[in-house]
């Protein structure tokens, strides 16, 4: 059984072990103990001391195998990006051009340097150990964050984005970086990517502000613009099912797509329910699977069954109650694990078959 909870300093060694095979592309969680120690410290302060509105808090969560204590996954939410140091992106624009005289049509794609100083929120830093990757664990790790946002709504911006990992191979080769970034930031991709964890200022200092015409790039660099890494496709589909759509922005080094959604329209937030536990069952019972979290400040989340009783209140299993440290009378927030599939309505139509008229 797995739980998702706020990360702590005692998890540093487990986090380092988790990330040892993470490869390139997980920019926000480099395999550097000092950087990770600072990130955990920032997260602990974010959970402990919050303003009435979002101020750039960074909430980092660990996915723990409950019976072994092993850290098998990690994910994060930033309440508001930007501030003193902006976030940099390219805005992808496409224009159709046509010459009727010579019967030629062209689509011209351009990338425009842009930055964000004032929001939105961001979900980020999601990584799951390969040994535990399946549709259930990945979905749980991703969606549990939305229950935390729902429970702490005033601490987040009204819009949230996710920068999806772009096309970089296991050795750190990025076709787009080789075609664009390397000409102005004379470093290899992994080094430049790592330096963004220290400061992003060099991006604005060195990259030109003129639009990049994608059509003029080598074919392999053109191909990766707006594309996600194959390992990130499942994560992108999960977010699309929650209501996320392409924002028109792509990453600045390896141009994976940035998807966005209005917080109050995200499925796992709008459909989540808060109710009281009135029964804890020692016996197994049939139920759909739900993502369940504690209410209040001590966030903790797990997968489990929930039954709404006719007399009022909820029934959960003893295993779930123990995992989440719940007792009778406590309240939980829960939501269905997967979106409900709407059944197609088939309208019946009557077809009249014409008959031949009899001759008089």
User: Model pTM greater than 0.85?
Assistant: yes
pLDDT at position 172 over 90: no
Residues 152 and 260 placed together within one structural domain of the fold: yes
How far is Cα 292 from Cα 271, in angstroms, rounded to an integer?
13
Spell out the alpha helix ranges (H) of 25-134: 33-48
CA 169 to chain centre: 21
| Residue 318: partners with Cβ closer than 8 Å, 6 or more residues away | 280, 281, 282
**Listed residues 220, 246, 265: the one ending a domain:** 265
**Does some domain include residue 348?**
no
The SS3 call for residue 34 is helix
CA 63 to chain centre: 15
**Does some domain include residue 350?**
no
Contact status, residue 220 vs residue 213, Cβ threshold 8 Å: no
Structure letter (DSSP) for residue 70: E
Residue 346: per-residue pLDDT: 53
**Does some domain include residue 135?**
yes
**Domain harbouring 280, CATH code:** 2.40.40.20
pLDDT at position 357 over 80: no
Residues 140 and 27 placed together within one structural domain of the fold: yes
Task: Over range 171-187, report the average pLDDT.
Answer: 92
Residues 284 and 241 placed together within one structural domain of the fold: no
| Residue 354: partners with Cβ closer than 8 Å, 6 or more residues away | none
Residues 197 and 326 placed together within one structural domain of the fold: no
pLDDT digits (tens, 9 = 90+) for 88-103: 999 999 999 999 999 9
Residues 71 and 219 placed together within one structural domain of the fold: yes
Q: How confident is the model at residue 51 (pLDDT cuts 50, 70, 90)?
A: confident
Q: How far is residue 177 from each of residues 50, 189, 217, measured CA to CA in Å?
A: 38, 7, 11
Share of the chain above pLDDT 70, in %: 94
Residues 236 and 91 placed together within one structural domain of the fold: yes
Q: Would you call 229 a catalytic residue per the annotation?
A: yes
How far is Cα 237 from Cα 241, in angstroms, rounded to an integer?
6
Measured N-to-C along each axis, helices 135-151 and 233-242 cross at an angle, to the nearest 10 degrees, of: 40
The SS3 call for residue 267 is helix
Domain that holds residue 295: 272-336
Residue 345: per-residue pLDDT: 52
pLDDT at position 121 over 50: yes
Residues 199 and 182 placed together within one structural domain of the fold: yes
pLDDT digits (tens, 9 = 90+) for 289-302: 999 999 988 999 99
Residue 215: per-residue pLDDT: 96
Residues 20 and 96 placed together within one structural domain of the fold: yes
For the chain, the average pLDDT equals: 91
- Listed in order, strand segments (DSSP E) in 164-253 are 212-213, 245-250
Q: How confident is the model at residue 197 (pLDDT cuts 50, 70, 90)?
A: confident
**Listed residues 265, 289, 324: the one ending a domain:** 265
pLDDT at position 351 over 60: no
pLDDT at position 257 over 50: yes
**Does some domain include residue 116?**
yes
Closest CA to 166 of 249, 239, 87: 249
pLDDT digits (tens, 9 = 90+) for 222-237: 999 999 998 889 999 9
pLDDT at position 133 over 80: yes
Task: Over range 190-214, report the average pLDDT.
Answer: 92
pLDDT at position 3 over 70: yes
Residues 151 and 205 placed together within one structural domain of the fold: yes
Spell out the alpha helix ranges (H) of 49-151: 135-151
Residue 360: per-residue pLDDT: 47
Residue 170: per-residue pLDDT: 72
Taking the CA atoms of 177, 183, 188 and 191 in sequence, report the sign of the dihedral they define: negative
Task: Over range 330-337, report the average pLDDT.
Answer: 96
Task: Count the domains in the chain.
Answer: 2
Residues 128 and 160 placed together within one structural domain of the fold: yes
Residue 349: per-residue pLDDT: 52
Q: How confident is the model at residue 348 (pLDDT cuts 50, 70, 90)?
A: low
Taking the CA atoms of 281, 284, 290 and 292 in sequence, report the sign of the dihedral they define: positive
Closest CA to 335 of 149, 147, 137, 160: 147
Of the residues 24, 129, 155, 229, only one is catalytic, namely: 229
How far is Cα 262 from Cα 259, in angstroms, rounded to an integer?
11
Residues 254 and 293 placed together within one structural domain of the fold: no
- Listed in order, strand segments (DSSP E) in 288-341 are 289-294, 301-305, 307-308, 314-317, 331-336
**Does some domain include residue 355?**
no
Q: How confident is the model at residue 19 (pLDDT cuts 50, 70, 90)?
A: very high
**Does some domain include residue 221?**
yes
**Domain harbouring 88, CATH code:** 3.40.630.30
Q: How confident is the model at residue 241 (pLDDT cuts 50, 70, 90)?
A: very high
Task: Over range 338-353, report the average pLDDT.
Answer: 60
Q: How far is residue 109 from each of residues 87, 91, 215, 231, 331, measured CA to CA in Å?
A: 22, 10, 6, 26, 51
Spell out the alpha helix ranges (H) of 216-348: 219-224, 233-242, 267-270, 318-324
Q: How confident is the model at residue 26 (pLDDT cuts 50, 70, 90)?
A: confident
How far is Cα 291 from Cα 139, in angstroms, rounded to an integer?
10
pLDDT at position 343 over 80: no
Residues 91 and 173 placed together within one structural domain of the fold: yes
How far is Cα 172 from Cα 285, in angstroms, rounded to an integer?
48
Q: How confident is the model at residue 339 (pLDDT cuts 50, 70, 90)?
A: confident
How far is Cα 229 from Cα 256, in angstroms, rounded to an integer?
8
């Amino acid at each position: 059984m797995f739980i998702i909870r706020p990360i702590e300093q005692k998890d540093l060694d487990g986090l380092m072990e988790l990330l040892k095979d993470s490869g390139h592309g997980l920019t926000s969680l480099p395999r550097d103990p000092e950087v990770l120690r600072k990130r955990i410290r920032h997260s602990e302060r974010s959970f402990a001391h919050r303003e009435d509105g979002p101020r750039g808090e960074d909430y980092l969560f660990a996915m723990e195998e409950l019976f072994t204590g092993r850290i098998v996954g990690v994910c994060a939410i930033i309440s508001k990006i930007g501030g003193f140091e902006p976030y940099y992106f390219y805005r992808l624009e496409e224009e159709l051009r046509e010459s009727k005289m010579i019967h030629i049509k062209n689509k011209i794609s351009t990338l425009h340097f842009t930055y964000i100083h004032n929001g939105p929120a961001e979900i980020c830093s999601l990584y799951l150990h390969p040994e535990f990757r399946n549709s259930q664990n990945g979905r749980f790790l991703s969606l549990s964050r939305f229950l935390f946002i729902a429970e702490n709504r005033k601490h987040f911006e009204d819009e949230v984005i996710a920068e999806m990992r772009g096309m970089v191979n296991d050795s750190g080769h990025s076709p787009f970086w080789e075609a664009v970034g390397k000409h102005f930031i004379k470093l290899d991709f992994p080094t430049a990517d790592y330096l963004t964890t220290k400061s992003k200022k060099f991006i604005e200092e060195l990259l030109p502000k003129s639009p990049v015409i994608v059509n003029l790039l080598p074919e392999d660099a053109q191909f990766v613009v707006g594309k996600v890494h194959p390992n990130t496709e499942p994560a992108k589909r999960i977010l699309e099912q929650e209501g996320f759509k392409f924002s028109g922005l792509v990453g600045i080094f390896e141009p994976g797509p940035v998807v966005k959604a209005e917080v109050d329209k995200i499925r796992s937030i709008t459909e989540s329910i808060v109710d009281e536990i009135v029964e804890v069952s020692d016996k197994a019972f049939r139920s759909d699977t739900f993502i369940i979290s504690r209410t209040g400040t001590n966030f903790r989340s797990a997968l489990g069954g929930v039954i709404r009783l006719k007399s009022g209140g909820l029934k959960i299993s003893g295993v779930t109650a123990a995992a989440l440290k719940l007792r009778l009378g406590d309240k939980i927030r829960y939501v269905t694990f997967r979106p409900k599939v709407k059944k197609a309505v088939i309208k019946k139509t009557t077809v009249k078959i014409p008959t031949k008229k009899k001759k008089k």
